[in-house]
Structure 1
Amino acid sequence: MHTIKKDLQLPSQTLKLQGKTRTLTAAKWTETALGYVFLFPSLLLFGIFLFYPLVQSVYLSLHETDPRGRVASFVGLDNFVAIFTSERFYKSLEVTGLFTLLTVPTGIALALLLAALTHNHLKGMRIFQFVFSLPVVLSVGTSAVIWMMLFHPSVGMLNYMLSLVGLEPVAWLTDPRWALLSVSMMTVWMNLGFNYIVLLSGLQSVPEEIYDSAKIDGSGPFRTFVQIIMPLLSPTVFFVTIVSIIGAFQSFGQIHILTKGGPVNATDVLVYSLYQDAFINFRFGTGSAQAIVLFVLILLLTVVQFKAFERNVHYQ
């Protein structure tokens, strides 16, 4: 009798387990579908404003277009061949690289210095933190107009300050020797607010116990910052570096307002060269090909940075 009862119970238990499994599977599918429902508005916006333009750029890069942007003929890789055989492309690439070297290390170092100086809890530090964060609220156009006034050859503040110390005025935006440096100065200031906020947040996330332990061990402020705080801050610095380099390669607004790529193509970065080909000369195929090349360059540069430098980042 006991054997018969056990044999009868086994199928019922199996049916119950199968029922629970089906219920869990149905709940999982329902939860997944609900997640996609909530994601759909974001996916729709990404599709319209990101994925569709990307696909359209690839399509246009393989075609020649008329001045109205309509496809005229299929040219294959001719647009890419024209880019890589053009001296202007390599000159723009050189200018972009120099612009990145002038802006990224300087901007990060200055923001890190200001964050370290204003990290303490002394009275009045909130005012300095507010002032150093201000550039983040200004648009590129507003920042460029402010600096255009500062760079003015006759009534600009910079040349006035030079005259006070007996130095000759500088043609900041019209001299090829100074134009890229001038735009770089403005870009460092413009990005200072974002870099400062991110790095200050990273410093504030370091526990106070670490500072207290370093003081007990007799470590000075400089040694504590270099040997203890910087490794803990390395993920934040790495993030700021990646974002700053990508931003430098995509810089356009300040160059368009201040110099328009001049003088003598001294500030003709890749994005501005792309803009001139597509929207000034109406060569949308060549402009799209340059956009694809720029995308690939930024992607490769980001991958190289992750492979080369992420090993030195300490996440714990």
Structure 2
Amino acid sequence: MKQKKKTRRQNFFKGIMFLLPSIILFSLFLFYPMIKTFYLSFFLTDMAGTPTVFVGLDNYIQLYTSDIFRKSFISTFLFVLYIVPSSIIIALFLAVLANEKLKGVGLFRTMYSSTMGISVAAGSIFWMYLFNPSMGLLNEALGVIGIDSIGWLTDPDWALIAISLTTIWMNIGFTFLILLGGLQSIDQSLYENANIEGAGYFRKLFQITVPMLSPTLFFVLVVTIINAFQTFGQIDILTKGGPQYETNLIVYSIYREAFVNRQFGPASAQAVVLFVIILIMTAIQFKFAERKVHYQ
């Protein structure tokens, strides 16, 4: 009995030693910043971010009563609603096409996944030229069919849509590759049996492909939603949160409050709120969406 306890203790300490590098890294770059952010959310700070006055829940109450934060909250959810279904549907469509055994399909796979190799800055600059009100390709195309030019990045009605289009384009490469990998892992004997039974293309798609791909789709859904809530780069480059705060998503609002206004307390409160939103959204997905997942 004593020998078993000694062996168990030794195995425990061995496991801790193997995990120690990861524990240290997570503590330095994840747990400490998280705890520090939660702590700062109850204070006002000086320009250097040092806590000066304890204000309790006042920072959170101000968020609740702030029209700007309320607009950021609504814009963030609209943004997520725009890009998540669109990114997944388009990437799934491209992945199904690229999974067909056709001559030269490798070229299309490279094209569809190419956005993965483009940085957010380069992609944003590319779309900035497309959105240019006077010489942008999009407005020139609209002019050809007789539609007036649109102020993609300056019109409050279109700015969030423009950012969403940019983000969808940037996300497609990653989502496409993950879905294509999922498609290629499906057992081909299922399709062979379906062919013997005379099943058509769409019947195989909805009764074999989508159910077998459901674990990959679930993973993509969770990751895409989290990434959508954390979108920052293209907003900073293209709109700076404008016009009229229409693209001032919560992440950009946190950045502006902390590093432009130097108000680290209210910014920390916003960060905590964003963390809770992402946590709740992820929990909802695991609670309800995972029920539809079919694991082989």
TM more than 0.5? yes
Unaligned runs of 5+ in 1: 1-17
* C-alpha RMSD of matched pairs (Å): 1.4
Following TM superposition, by how much is the alpha carbon of 1:97 offset from its aligned partner in structure 2, in angstroms?
A: 0.7
The answer for the alignment partner of 2:56 in structure 1 is 76
* Whole-angstrom distance in 1 between the partners of 2:71 and 2:217: 30
The answer for the alignment partner of 2:260 in structure 1 is 280
1:111 corresponds to 2:91? yes
1:142 corresponds to 2:89? no
Give 1:207's match in structure 2, choosing from 162, 182, 187: 187
The answer for the alignment partner of 2:214 in structure 1 is 234
The answer for the alignment partner of 2:164 in structure 1 is 184
* Whole-angstrom distance in 1 between the partners of 2:47 and 2:91: 45
- 2:106 corresponds to which letter in structure 1? R
- 1:78-121 per-residue CA deviation (whole Å, 9 max, x = no partner) reads 11111112122221111011101110000000000000011022
Following TM superposition, by how much is the alpha carbon of 1:27 offset from its aligned partner in structure 2, in angstroms?
A: 4.0
Q: Which has the larger radius of gyration?
A: 1
- 1:214-267 per-residue CA deviation (whole Å, 9 max, x = no partner) reads 111111111110122111111111111111111111111111111011111111
Following TM superposition, by how much is the alpha carbon of 1:163 offset from its aligned partner in structure 2, in angstroms?
A: 2.8
Please give the secondary structure, in 1, of the residue aligned with 2:53: strand
Following TM superposition, by how much is the alpha carbon of 1:29 offset from its aligned partner in structure 2, in angstroms?
A: 3.2
Unaligned runs of 5+ in 2: none
1:301 corresponds to 2:267? no
The answer for the alignment partner of 1:252 in structure 2 is 232
Following TM superposition, by how much is the alpha carbon of 1:315 offset from its aligned partner in structure 2, in angstroms?
A: 1.0
- 2:266 corresponds to which letter in structure 1? T
Following TM superposition, by how much is the alpha carbon of 1:277 offset from its aligned partner in structure 2, in angstroms?
A: 1.3
1:123 corresponds to 2:114? no
Please give the secondary structure, in 2, of the residue aligned with 1:112: helix
* Whole-angstrom distance in 2 between the partners of 1:167 and 1:63: 52
TM-score computed with the length of structure 1 as normaliser: 0.90
1:86 corresponds to 2:66? yes
- 2:249 corresponds to which letter in structure 1? V
- 1:248-298 per-residue CA deviation (whole Å, 9 max, x = no partner) reads 111111111110111111111111111111111111000001100110111
- 1:94-149 per-residue CA deviation (whole Å, 9 max, x = no partner) reads 10111011100000000000000110221111111111111112221121111112
The answer for the alignment partner of 2:198 in structure 1 is 218
Please give the secondary structure, in 2, of the residue aligned with 1:219: coil
1:168 corresponds to 2:168? no
Following TM superposition, by how much is the alpha carbon of 1:25 offset from its aligned partner in structure 2, in angstroms?
A: 4.3
Following TM superposition, by how much is the alpha carbon of 1:30 offset from its aligned partner in structure 2, in angstroms?
A: 3.1
* Whole-angstrom distance in 1 between the partners of 2:158 and 2:71: 17
- 1:43-78 per-residue CA deviation (whole Å, 9 max, x = no partner) reads 111111111101110110111111221211111111
* Whole-angstrom distance in 2 between the partners of 1:58 and 1:42: 23
Following TM superposition, by how much is the alpha carbon of 1:31 offset from its aligned partner in structure 2, in angstroms?
A: 3.4
Give 1:264's match in structure 2, choosing from 244, 251, 256: 244
CA contact under 8 A between 2:37 and 2:272: conserved in structure 1? yes
* Whole-angstrom distance in 2 between the partners of 1:134 and 1:30: 49
CA contact under 8 A between 2:68 and 2:245: conserved in structure 1? no
TM-score computed with the length of structure 2 as normaliser: 0.96
Give the fraction of aligned pairs with identical amino acids, expressed as a percent: 49
